[in-house]
Structure 1
Amino acid sequence: MTDERRFPIVKCPNCGKPVEFRPESRFRPFCSERCRQIDLGAWASESYRIPAAKPPDSMSEDVGDE
């Protein structure tokens, strides 16, 4: 009897290639070192950003009313 586990298949965040998400997968969730490096470069060049919301205008009017 073999211990055959089922590991989830995920898409590489960079190229979309299916990758088995298992401990032996060296570059998981990426399919290769190349895809991992491309993603790292995007973070380093600040390509990934979280949009900042401006405060409502009513907050700026209340500053001098005290």
Structure 2
Amino acid sequence: MTVRIQSIADINLRANQALIGELGVVDTIRFLNQFRAGSGDYTVERESLFRDMTAREIIAEIKSRRTEGI
């Protein structure tokens, strides 16, 4: 039995074609953007943003924003 190993470029091309065929271009881009690396240092930003907040306060803020639709 012979197994053909595909290059990563070929696999990516086929995967993108499948996604575009199923989701369309816009939703494929939205889907793929979930997996892109961001920029900056979230650890440093997080310490700055939440320095004076307790975990309970952070959770309350999240819940508040969810109900406000922000």
Whether these two folds match at TM > 0.5 is: no
Q: Which has the higher helix share?
A: 2
Q: Which has the higher strand share?
A: 1
Larger RCO, structure (CA 8 Å, separation 6 or more): 1
Q: TM-score, normalised by structure 1?
A: 0.27
Q: TM-score, normalised by structure 2?
A: 0.26
